[in-house]
Amino acid sequence: MKIIRIAVTPIAFRDPPLLNASGIHEPFALRSIIEVETDNGYIGLGESYGDAPALAIQQQLQSQLIGMDPFNLNQLRAVVKATVAANKPASVAGAELAPGSHASKAVSNAYSAFEVAFLDVQARSMNLPLVDLLGGAVRDRVPFSAYLFFKYAQHADSPYAPDSWGEALSEAQIVAQARRMIEAYGFKSIKLKAGALEPEHEVSCIKALKKAFPGYPLRIDPNGNWSLETSIRMAELLGDDLQYYEDPTPGLEGMAELHKRTGLPLATNMVVTDFDEFRRSVALNSVQIVLADHHYWGGLRDTQALAKMCETFGLGVSMHSNSHLAISLMAMTHVAAAVPNLDFACDTHYPWQEPDEEVIKGGKLPIVDGCVHLTREPGLGLELDYDQLGKLNDQFLSCGIRQRDDVRQMQKYKPEWKAVKPRY
């Protein structure tokens, strides 16, 4: 089997005005959609970062992968490494909220973008679901959590009609957002993106969620925007409210000290983002749960390797997300289904994406009882809707955004806004 065509199509889809530690989401999120076509008529799909540096590497790789055997993942990795070495990407400010955009992740994220499509093609050619190439499914449905955000009602300059979720700044509004998300998708656990408003207020919102949803595991994620002192103070207020405390304070040392002082289980997608940081984290006992993400951990198989390392060192494992569509969600689901020690419901931004902006046939994937279900369809089980792909590519071309910048976007609301970490 030989690869005869590769397509990398950048897309942009509407993204709500969600608040975070850096600022606020821009009106459009960027992704790339990868197609890998073989001489015997199979097409494998991948989804990855659509920011300019990531896209440039994916596009450079396009022609170099023609003629390759999609089973040869070692060759894919070697070609990716050589291409990145020859075209060193520049570092991007504020990349910690989109770890895949960081220059140090260029190899792992470009490799992952194509590895998923290669594995999809391999599985299709054998008429097997992709998860079977990862050792088989240990579960046929993967749990995700309700991912809540503080948000404004609409974007600055109103680029399009406001989303249907409305403003969420108060406790009551956050509880209403959770209720709607849980009613629609059946989620059984709740994550609150924090680091955006006063810490005491964010903790009050956790208390309100605890009261409204008794027994639901709760998590708060300030994205390293709280100092060590603030994180300790908030930990005292939170008591045993949390399932885990996600990235409250920056740095491996800061997290280690926080764990020592509070004993709380700490999770991260910020201080352990590669195997070197993993090693240092184990030495310091910085975190107890690693949130994997195949997009920057080097693909589905390296995510399994990470899960194995977590098992070896007695750490929990779950999954991080950025704004994404169905191909990413399905790849996350297949790998999560093949990780025996997946201990917690995974994150997903998927409910925040609009139903008319999916690129696969059949529209948005269902999330039922908080889970994405695996099917026995070959590969990822997804087909592209080319009209939708074209529409979202046109939107990419016209939206004017080429690199995520939540700080610059916040300056449209608050001109004095600066990137400060930790802010509180």
Active site residues: 193, 320
C-alpha span between 318 and 187 (Å, rounded): 15
C-alpha span between 29 and 40 (Å, rounded): 34
Non-local CB neighbours of 217 within 8 Å, separated by 6+ positions: 145, 188, 189, 190, 243, 344, 345
Non-local CB neighbours of 46 within 8 Å, separated by 6+ positions: 33, 34, 36, 112, 113, 114, 115, 116, 117, 120, 327, 331
C-alpha span between 181 and 164 (Å, rounded): 12
The answer to whether residues 364 and 326 touch, using CB atoms and an 8 Å cutoff, is: yes
Measured from the CB atom, the residue of 79 and 142 that comes closer to ligand GKR is: 142
- Interaction pattern, residues 311-340, with ligand GKR; x per rule: CB under 6 A: ---------xxxx-----------------
Among positions 97, 205, 336, 338, the unique one binding ligand GKR when judged by CB under 6 A: 97
38 binding partner (options Mg ion, ligand GKR, none; Cβ < 5 to 8 Å by kind): none
CB of 224 to ligand GKR, least distance (A): 9
> Which one, of 325, 271, 267, lies nearest residue 295 by Cα?
325
146 binding partner (options ligand GKR, Mg ion, none; Cβ < 5 to 8 Å by kind): none
Q: How many residues bind ligand GKR (CB under 6 A)?
A: 13
Q: Which of residues 270-309 bind ligand GKR (CB under 6 A)?
A: none
DSSP structure string for 375-422: -SSSBT---B-HHHHHHHHHHHHHH---S--HHHHHTTT-TT----SS
Measured from the CB atom, the residue of 97 and 317 that comes closer to ligand GKR is: 97
- Interaction pattern, residues 340-379, with ligand GKR; x per rule: CB under 6 A: -------x--------------------------------
Give the pairing of strands 28-38 and 3-14: antiparallel
Among positions 269, 288, 318, 353, the unique one binding ligand GKR when judged by CB under 6 A: 269
Measured from the CB atom, the residue of 199 and 378 that comes closer to Mg ion is: 199
Give the pairing of strands 43-49 and 371-373: unpaired
Measured from the CB atom, the residue of 147 and 152 that comes closer to Mg ion is: 147
Measured from the CB atom, the residue of 227 and 322 that comes closer to Mg ion is: 322
405 binding partner (options ligand GKR, Mg ion, none; Cβ < 5 to 8 Å by kind): none
* Torsional class of 186: left (φ above 0), alpha (ψ -120 to 50), beta (otherwise): left
**Residues contributing to the site for Mg ion (CB under 5 A):** 221, 246, 269
171 binding partner (options Mg ion, ligand GKR, none; Cβ < 5 to 8 Å by kind): none
Q: Which of residues 226-265 bind ligand GKR (CB under 6 A)?
A: none
Tell me which DSSP letter residue 70 carries. T
Q: Which of residues 157-196 bind ligand GKR (CB under 6 A)?
A: 193
HSE-up of residue 281 (Cα within 13 Å, Cβ side) = 28
Q: Binding to ligand GKR by residue 223, rule CB under 6 A?
A: yes
CB of 17 to Mg ion, least distance (A): 19
CB of 19 to ligand GKR, least distance (A): 8
Give the pairing of strands 266-268 and 316-319: unpaired
Structure tokens at 160: 């399009």
CB of 196 to ligand GKR, least distance (A): 9
Residues at the interface with ligand GKR (CB under 6 A): 18, 20, 97-98, 193, 221, 223, 269, 320-323, 347
